[in-house]
């Protein structure tokens, strides 16, 4: 679902939409390429907000989420995940606490196409707490801002800008969060009318870009998201969530915690995430298994991919431990052979193995 007013507004700005796992993403603006160098702004069509509010909202979420909800304040957000009892992630998110709300109110920013299933999963437990959930898919929208060129404008619009990763600035217009990445990045979440005003102001300063341009920067930051085709596929360690502070190992029990903690302290995860470049590969869907061309063994699973040229895709892969010992690979998918090469992540693999 896309807010009709927001979609029409973006179309009037030259946005070209494409379906991706049931979500309508912006593939390009006018004649601009899908991938744009910074600075740029991008509509976060692949993501949406789930609101959880009520006197027991923090207590409820503390028993369901991998991150420490009590460490989240109106000025500091956290990445995190929600897991099945078997420790498999059914959604990943950024958790934000709203200002000036009584009872307390939180936003979980996650993949738009996982809102309904996340509400169904969380709904099994929220009935025991004084809390309620509401989808903001049709009322709030997101804008990604890449680069420092818009700092002065953002300061004027929100009153201040966050200076540290995961920090949040809030105003009556909406939320602004500092994201990890090679360059300065912010994500803004606002009601549609404010989003249109912000986009119009930003577009005077920087170029608009596709949703995929923002997804590419998440790949380069080593930040994975669970999507519709990878839900309940990975445990948190497989996506390196411990490396991006999306898992707390001291907060106490939550659904799936026993499996996550056992993997961390009693064993060694044999699968973790790497960033890679694929050459001459077919267009791949997250969740696709990649076979080693020689052995035909399943050695990797695609987490996310963005095509950056006709022959190249930059990707995140969950790989077997043995694959991490080399940097050049040969893969096969559906009888098509192609090559892959390992790229750097912003954190050390030795810290997560």
pLDDT, tens digit, for every residue of 164-195?
Answer: 999 999 999 999 999 999 899 999 999 999 99
Tokens of 185: 């990045």
Q: Return the closest-CA partner of residue 239 out of 86, 109, 345.
A: 345
**325 — pLDDT class (breaks 50, 70, 90):** confident
Residue pointed to by tokens 């590419």: 216
Tokens of 138: 């049709």
CATH topology of domain 1-268: Gyrase A; domain 2 (3.30.1360)
**140 — pLDDT class (breaks 50, 70, 90):** very high
Q: Answer yes or no: is pLDDT of 318 > 90.
A: yes
Q: Answer yes or no: is pLDDT of 90 > 60.
A: yes
Helical H runs in 203-315? 211-220, 257-265
What's the whole-number mean pLDDT along residues 31-49?
Answer: 82
- Across 18-32, 86-100, 134-148, 312-326, least confident range: 18-32
Where, residue-wise, is CATH 3.30.1360.120 in the chain?
1-268
Q: Answer yes or no: is pLDDT of 351 > 80.
A: no
**334 — pLDDT class (breaks 50, 70, 90):** very high
CATH architecture of 270-343: Beta Barrel (2.40)
**Whole-number Å distance between alpha carbons of 145 and 178:** 10
* pLDDT value for 32: 52
Q: Answer yes or no: is pLDDT of 23 > 90.
A: no
Burial (CB count within 10 angstroms: exposed 0-12, middle 13-18, buried 19+), residue 351: exposed
- % the chain with pLDDT above 90: 88
Strand order in 207-208's β-sheet?
168-171, 174-179, 185-191, 140-146, 40-43, 207-208
Q: Answer yes or no: is pLDDT of 353 > 70.
A: no
Where, residue-wise, is CATH 2.40.30.160 in the chain?
270-343
* pLDDT value for 268: 65
Q: Answer yes or no: is pLDDT of 275 > 60.
A: yes
| pLDDT, tens digit, 9 for 90 and up, residues 52-70 | 999 999 999 999 999 999 9
């Amino acid at each position: 679902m896309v807010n009709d007013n927001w979609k029409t507004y973006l179309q009037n700005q030259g946005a070209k939409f494409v379906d991706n796992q049931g979500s309508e993403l912006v593939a390009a603006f006018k004649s601009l390429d899908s991938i744009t160098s910074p600075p740029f702004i991008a509509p976060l069509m692949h993501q949406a907000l789930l609101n959880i509010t009520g006197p027991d909202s923090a207590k409820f979420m503390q028993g369901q989420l991998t991150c420490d909800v009590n460490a989240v304040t109106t000025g500091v957000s956290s990445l995190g995940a929600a897991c099945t009892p078997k420790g498999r992630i059914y959604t990943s998110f950024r958790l934000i606490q709203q200002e000036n709300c009584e009872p307390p109110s939180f936003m979980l920013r996650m993949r738009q196409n996982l809102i309904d299933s996340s509400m169904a999963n969380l709904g099994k437990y929220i009935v025991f707490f004084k809390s309620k959930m509401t989808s903001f898919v049709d009322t709030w929208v997101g804008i990604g801002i890449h680069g420092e060129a818009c700092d002065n404008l953002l300061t004027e619009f929100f009153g201040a800008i966050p200076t540290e990763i995961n920090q949040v600035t809030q105003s009556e217009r909406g939320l602004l969060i500092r994201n990890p990445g090679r360059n300065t990045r912010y994500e803004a979440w606002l009601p549609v009318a404010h989003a249109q005003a912000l986009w119009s102001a930003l577009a005077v300063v920087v170029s608009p870009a596709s949703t995929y341009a923002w997804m590419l920067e998440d790949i380069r930051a080593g930040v994975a998201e669970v999507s519709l085709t990878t839900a309940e596929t990975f445990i948190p360690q497989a996506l390196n969530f411990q490396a991006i502070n999306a898992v707390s190992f001291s907060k106490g029990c939550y659904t799936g915690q026993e499996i996550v903690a056992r993997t961390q302290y009693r064993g060694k995860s044999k699968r973790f995430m790497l960033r890679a470049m694929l050459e001459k590969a077919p267009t791949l869907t997250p969740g696709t298994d990649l076979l080693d061309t020689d052995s035909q063994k399943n050695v990797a699973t695609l987490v996310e991919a963005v095509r950056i040229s006709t022959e190249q895709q930059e990707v995140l892969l969950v790989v077997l431990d043995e694959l991490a010992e080399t940097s050049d690979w040969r893969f096969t998918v559906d009888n098509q052979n192609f090559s892959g090469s390992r790229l750097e992540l912003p954190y050390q693999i030795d810290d997560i193995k």
